[in-house]
Amino acid sequence: MSNDVPNPVAEGKPAAIVGTGADAASGRAAGRPYPVVPLYGVPFAKMDMRQTVEYLVRAVESRRTHRVVTGNPIMVMAGLRDPSFHRVLATADLVVPDGAGIVWAARRVGDPLPERVAGYDLMHELLREGAARGWKAYLLGAAQDVVETAAANLARQYPGIHIVGWRNGYFSDAEDEQVVEDIRRCAPDLLFVARSLAKQEPWLAKYRDRLGVPVMMGVGGSFDVVAGKLKRAPVSFRRLGLEWLYRLLQEPRRIGRMTVLPVFALKVLRDGKNALWPIDTV
């Protein structure tokens, strides 16, 4: 499955270049000012929720563009099958460990991450910080009634935030130009994109520079939860790392994509430290 993407570790590149494990974790070779766990070449940030929020608050304050990926095993596996999707993940400005499977894998290969940083929680943390600072947010994605309700609910929950724009996620490539222009005109500090994983990440990568938003982040099904259409897993499920199971029970159609989870686990068990690829050579 990983054959499409070369693994420089397996190819026996010198340790100084390869830099697996702790030394690769510095992440500085790839210009990142924070340490990473380079799981199959995807640079998962070694920061807990508090550090991640502080880092992104600074990003907004300094007006530097950040494309944030909330990474999970399904995305890593998709990257191993599709080199262009892998590039989208590997070149993100920040990848947070959204999936419990990622936290497990990092521990298993001996380069642990501090904690799971769930995209849904990170979105709320950023809105909370933004509310105290009068930031502007733009919501892109989900069905029209869902994004409208999500915008209204978030505006009520975070009165200091200006929701400057929203748009549903069902538009064609030919409409990209108009969507990008609308976001540019609104000049938000935060842009949350809730389309499917296969769409939102390549779309953000393609338009990152033109959008120029300080923090832009794919949030998957989060607007459905904010709008009350789907329920977030109870804390008990989250503590056990079973948020995916709760989601599966609500949306059984997700079973197909979840079959990659045991494949990912077996691959990590088999690869061990070889699951850590250098981030500066991908």
Instruction: Report the interface residues with ligand UDP, using CB under 6 A.
Output: 141-143, 169-170, 194-197, 199, 220-221, 223-224
Direct distance between the N- and C-terminal alpha carbons of the chain, in angstroms, rounded to an integer: 17
Q: Which is nearer to ligand UDP, 48 or 145 (CB)?
A: 145
Partnered with residue 179 across adjacent β-strands are none
Compute the least distance from the CB of residue 56 to ligand UDP, in Å: 21
DSSP 40: T
Task: Rank residues 39 and 142 by Cβ distance to ligand UDP and give the closer one.
Answer: 142
Asked if 194 and 222 count as a contact pair (C-beta separation under 8 A), the reply is yes
**Residues contacting residue 8 through CB under 8 Å, at least 6 positions apart:** 17, 18, 277, 278, 281, 282
Comparing CB distances to ligand UDP, the nearer of 43 and 220 is 220
Indicate the residue among 170 and 210 with the shorter CB distance to ligand UDP: 170
Query: Is the Cβ of residue 134 or residue 178 nearer to ligand UDP in the bound state?
Result: 178
Nearest residue to ligand UDP by CB is 169
Phi and psi at residue 109, in whole multiples of 5°? -90, 10
b/e map of 15-24 (b: 16 or more CB within 10 Å)? Answer: eeebbbeeeb
Identity of the residue, 224 or 280, whose beta carbon is nearer to ligand UDP in the bound complex: 224
Q: What are phi and psi of 277, to 5 degrees?
A: -100, 155
Taking the complex as a whole, how short is the minimal distance between the CB of residue 79 and ligand UDP, in angstroms? 14
What span, in angstroms and rounded, lies between the C-alpha atoms of 160 and 134? Answer: 5
At residue 60, what is the residue type?
V
Residue of 40, 137, 24, 131 whose CA lies nearest to 83: 40
The number of CA neighbours under 13 Å toward the Cβ of 43 is 27
Q: Tell me the closest approach of the beta carbon of residue 58 to ligand UDP, in angstroms.
A: 28
With respect to ligand UDP, which residue has the nearer C-beta, 27 or 119? 119
Q: Shortest Cβ distance from residue 39 to ligand UDP (Å)?
A: 20
CB of 281 to ligand UDP, least distance (A): 28
Residue placing its CB nearer to ligand UDP in the complex, 44 or 223: 223
CB of 127 to ligand UDP, least distance (A): 18
CA–centroid distance for 72 within its chain: 8
Find the shortest distance in angstroms from Cβ 219 to ligand UDP.
8
What would you measure as the largest C-alpha separation in the chain, in angstroms?
Answer: 55
The structure tokens listed for 153 are 């609910």
Smallest distance, ligand UDP to C-beta of residue 183, A: 15
At residue 3, φ and ψ (nearest 5 deg) are -65, -25
